[in-house]
Amino acid sequence: MRSRQLQVLCVVPHPLARLAVERALKNARGIRPLRGAEPGALPRLRRQPRIIILDAATGEAVGRVVRQFRASFPQSRFLLIGAAASDEELVRTLFIGIQGYLEYGHDPTRLVSTLQSMARGHVWVSERALQQYVELSSRAIASQPDSQEGLTDRQRAVVDLVMRDLSNKEVAAALHISANTVKFHLSGIFHKLGVGDRRTLREVVNRKEDARASRLWLGLAESRCLAGTVDRNAGLRKGAAGLEGARRDGDML
């Protein structure tokens, strides 16, 4: 019975916000709060948390924290709590792999219902934000050239190492070729992908891969979104409607 409980990890640095979350989850039926962690400090857990709660007060470091925890807990979903956010801000959270956003100040039961909805695979943001995200990510995927299109196997290997911030000498050592040969391959890569330097190359590759990766994290089918149908399932609509209702209710945590 215990193993079926929804395991939730709280990574909220602000003591008052963390206390509010812990109180809300303490006696919640079917939810097992795991020992909290600090941003940048991965806890040692026997089982992977189903949902990880983050605090928007972490600032720009939220994206880095998400990447760090996802590397260790790839199946976990992320809920961000914070102050009232615009649709533009919500869209940015979706792009970094956050599957839900809940404002400070709601009734504790709202947090519990949000976690339960997300555990079933639903996305918890407003309909408008989700629509904007789908349109922007579809545009990014459709407009950016395939980072592998037209490249030779050797050029793909060079791109892979460049994306890891290796210098030309380090790339040469890894591939057992000369630094001049690396420069030759980079020249060909830049020409094929229409970029002029390493920084632009990384931007082009990352932009498309980020859009695709965030689609996978959110459970949205790329083909349906690209076709413009934005076929959100009932769970997505229910989650978004629930969030809108919470905003109208104005309940306090």
Question: What domains can be seen in the chain, in order of their start residue?
Answer: 2-139+233-249 (3.40.50.2300), 142-213 (1.10.10.10)
> Long-range contacts of range 72-76, CB-CB < 8 Å, 24 or more positions apart?
72/42, 73/48, 73/49, 75/48, 75/50, 76/9, 76/48, 76/49, 76/50, 76/51, 76/52
Q: How confident is the model at residue 37 (pLDDT cuts 50, 70, 90)?
A: low
**pLDDT at position 246:** 38
pLDDT tens by residue, 103-152: 988 788 899 999 999 998 888 998 899 888 888 888 776 765 555 667 88
Q: How confident is the model at residue 244 (pLDDT cuts 50, 70, 90)?
A: very low
Strand-pair partners of 31 = 6
pLDDT tens by residue, 44-76: 777 889 999 999 887 768 888 888 888 888 889
pTM for the structure as a whole: 0.64
**pLDDT at position 154:** 92
Residue with tokens 């290796």: 166
